[in-house]
Amino acid sequence: MARDFPARPSRRQGRGERYAEGRGRPARGMGGQRQGPSYRLFVAVEIPAEAIRGLVGWQHEYLAKDKALRLTPVEQLHITLAFLGQKDEDELDQTSKLLDELESRRAFEIEAKRLVGMPRGRSPRVIAVECMEPSGRLKAIHDELAAGLAAKGLYKPEKREFFPHVTVARARGRSHIDLTGITPETVKFTAVRVSLYNSILKASGALHEALKTVQLT
């Protein structure tokens, strides 16, 4: 499949660590025969460079001193819409075609105002930036994409309500960081790009490769 945009690889910190979005093994049929390439796919909203700088500022000001946290690399700051998991080349093509239907959708404004722990409680596994999008366009794109992927058997919708966020740190062990008193300066941006990524697992970390990108109007 021809790529619409050049690949944009990124690297995750840490060596040899397993990650949910790492590349899976090649697809195999009955008898174990290899049946072509396999991909670990997810769809995400890209964040503009200026807003990325703001979120990185949050990381360093509020999270970097906590040794129990591993900061998300700058190249992997995005808003995940759907994680598909391991797919073959035909399923990749089907997903790519569904993304084409988003090109007529309008861009939307995002406001990032606070850090939250996930799951909520005294020992979160993930620190995330909550993304506020009052127009409802982000949720509409998520719902449309999830429904289209589910109809083709490419995605199993989550039971929990869609919660748009950017993962900015993960806990190495038990982190007891208190986020209640943190009031960062609001980061605002316009979201105009949605991309289909392949996450490739390597010994030195995971690389996120953009296979297709659509521009919102």
Q: Is 146 part of any domain? A: yes
Domain assignment present for 23:
no
Does 144 fall in a domain?
Answer: yes
106-141 exposure pattern, b = at least 16 Cβ within 10 A, e = fewer: eebebebeebebeeeeeebebbbbebebeeebbeeb
Structural domain contains residue 71: yes
| Strands, E assignment, 62-159 | 69-71, 79-88, 108-118, 126-132
| Residue 4 maps to a domain | no
Summary mean pLDDT of the chain: 86
Q: Is residue 104 part of a domain?
A: yes
Q: Would you say 148 and 196 are in contact if contact means Cβ atoms under 8 Å apart?
A: no
What digits encode the pLDDT tens for the residues 11-23?
Answer: 443 333 333 333 3
Identify the domain containing residue 194 by its residue range.
Answer: 35-215
Query: pTM, whole model, 2 decimals?
Result: 0.82
- Number of domains, the chain: 1
Over the stretch 68-124, which tens digit does the pLDDT of each residue have?
999 999 999 999 999 999 999 999 999 999 999 999 899 999 999 999 999 887 788
- The answer as to whether 6 is a domain residue is no
What is residue 155's predicted lDDT score, i.e. its pLDDT?
97
In sequence order, the 6+-apart residues with CB closer than 8 A to the CB of 45 are: 78, 79, 81, 138, 191, 193, 194
Q: What percent of the chain clears pLDDT 90, i.e. is strictly above it?
A: 70
Give the confidence band of 35 by pLDDT, cuts at 50, 70, 90: low
Amino acid present at 180:
T
Structure tokens at 189: 């941006």
Whether residue 78 is contained in a domain is answered as yes
Q: What is the CATH number of the domain that holds 99?
A: 3.90.1140.10
